[in-house]
DNA sequence: CGCCGATTTAGATTTAATCTAAATCTATAT
DNA sequence: ATATAGATTTAGATTAAATCTAAATCGGCG
């Protein structure tokens, strides 16, 4: 297994997180296109190859990475929390049928919406809910052959 | 204890949820201004007075009410899910320091943002993250006496 | 190289949520 | 009002998720 890439190493250092191979492995898995994994899934994925990481370390890593802003917890339907890499901002769509969470291209809010009284807003995201394409999506009830 | 109010009874029937006293008690607690309670908190609150509800019933009720759209699960910091009554739409603000979730007045998204390809969007909400007023909020770093 | 504090580890523990099967309740028809 | 069928509630057991513990290891720095 190769060492931690310079690019990610930079991200770790900039975020003041010690770059360990385990943390790297966790982030690496989440970086795979559109993955919204649970801690358990990450644990299994990471342990299919080197370096390994115990369950506790996966949780610890997710916590460090989340605190650092490299990862964030996404809205989840089930009980187990799901995470994704948050290097690029994006919104989310949650399917009410299958529970799948999809990434939505980033867009800004109308000016002024980010000012919320005396609160300091550091980030935001829009969470859409509905029916995904695979579960029915558009075509409300057209083309039904019955 | 009085019976289920006509108003809520209507909401239950319209949503096709059988109006039981336990479900009413759960919703009633969430209706108290700005409450974002966990199942455990609702369980304790409900059991301080009649009618009582078992833990399982609190979970069952939350599930029915959520499916019916009378209640929704809010973004939560900790592990236990939190719920609020969703009779009126609103957005959320999550404090990264204390974990508190606050309601934000409703506003629409710029036209066109609700169309997400072949997905059918049924609802959405904006989740802001940052520091709440009590934890520091604005005044970035003014008045520090050091 | 050798030290110190941060990190990792396996397994136990705690906490949250679900399941089970029997008892009870609600809506509807009589 | 009473009977009936199916939904709901219940206490407690069970499963699943996340955290904790204390010892071993690692990474960065002198």
Q: Residue A7 belongs to a domain with what CATH number?
A: 1.10.10.10
Q: Are residues B31 and B75 in the same domain?
A: yes
Q: Which residues of B touch A (CB under 8 A)?
A: 75, 79, 81, 93, 95-96, 102, 104, 107, 109-110, 113-114, 116-133, 136-138, 140
The last residue of one of the domains, among B70, B87, B104, is: B87
Q: Are residues B65 and B128 in the same domain?
A: no
pLDDT given for residue A24 in this prediction: 92
**What is the least distance, in Å, from the CA of A38 to any CA of chain B?**
13
pLDDT tens across A3-49, in order?
A: 456 777 888 888 888 889 999 999 999 998 778 999 999 999 999 88
Q: Are residues B82 and B96 in the same domain?
A: no
Strand, helix or coil at A121? strand
Count Cβ atoms within 10 A of the Cβ of residue A88 and give its class: 0-12 exposed, 13-18 middle, 19 or more buried.
exposed
Contact B116 A128 (CB under 8 A): yes
Residue B21 CA, nucleotide D17 C1', distance (Å): 31
Q: Are residues B26 and B69 in the same domain?
A: yes
Q: Are residues A135 and A101 in the same domain?
A: yes
Q: Are residues B82 and B97 in the same domain?
A: no
Q: Are residues B14 and B73 in the same domain?
A: yes
B57 Cβ contacts chain D strand, under 7 Å: yes
Q: Are residues B68 and B93 in the same domain?
A: no
Q: What is the CATH number of the domain that holds B122?
A: 3.30.1490
pLDDT given for residue B2 in this prediction: 42
Q: Which residues of A touch B (CB under 8 A)?
A: 75, 79, 81, 93, 95-96, 102, 104, 107, 109-110, 113-114, 116-133, 136-138, 140
Q: How many CB pairs under 8 A join A and B?
A: 104
**How many distinct structural domains can be found in chain B?**
2
B39 Cβ contacts chain C strand, under 7 Å: yes
pLDDT above 80 for A142: no
pLDDT given for residue B3 in this prediction: 46
The last residue of one of the domains, among B36, B62, B87, is: B87
Q: How far apart are CA A91 and CA A126, in angstroms?
A: 5
A76 φ/ψ angles, rounded to the nearest 5 degrees: -125, 145
Q: Are residues B1 and B53 in the same domain?
A: yes
Contact B131 A119 (CB under 8 A): yes
pLDDT given for residue B46 in this prediction: 93
pLDDT tens across A102-131, in order?
A: 999 999 998 776 678 899 998 899 999 989
Count Cβ atoms within 10 A of the Cβ of residue B23 and give its class: 0-12 exposed, 13-18 middle, 19 or more buried.
buried
A19 Cβ contacts chain D strand, under 7 Å: yes
B80 touches A95 (CB < 8 A) = no
Q: How far apart are CA B139 and CA B46, in angstroms?
A: 40
B125 touches A127 (CB < 8 A) = yes
Low-confidence ranges of chain B (pLDDT < 50): 1-3, 141-146
Residue A128: which domain range? 88-146
Q: Are residues B93 and B76 in the same domain?
A: no
B133 Cβ contacts chain C strand, under 7 Å: no
Q: Are residues A95 and A24 in the same domain?
A: no
Q: Are residues A4 and A16 in the same domain?
A: yes
């Amino acid at each position: 297994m190769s060492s931690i890439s310079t690019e990610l190493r930079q991200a770790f250092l900039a975020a003041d997180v010690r770059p360990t191979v385990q943390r790297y492995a966790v982030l690496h898995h989440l970086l795979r296109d559109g993955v919204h994994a649970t801690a358990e899934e990450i644990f299994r994925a990471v342990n299919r190859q080197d370096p390994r990481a115990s369950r506790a370390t996966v949780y610890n890593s997710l916590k460090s990475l989340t605190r650092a802003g490299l990862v964030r917890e996404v809205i989840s339907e089930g009980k187990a929390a799901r995470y994704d890499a948050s290097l690029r901002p994006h919104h989310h769509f949650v399917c009410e049928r299958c529970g799948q969470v999809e990434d939505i291209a980033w867009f800004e809010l109308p000016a002024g919406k980010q000012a919320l009284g005396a609160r300091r807003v550091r980030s935001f995201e829009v969470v859409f809910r509905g029916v995904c394409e695979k579960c029915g999506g558009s075509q409300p009830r057209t083309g039904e052959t019955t």
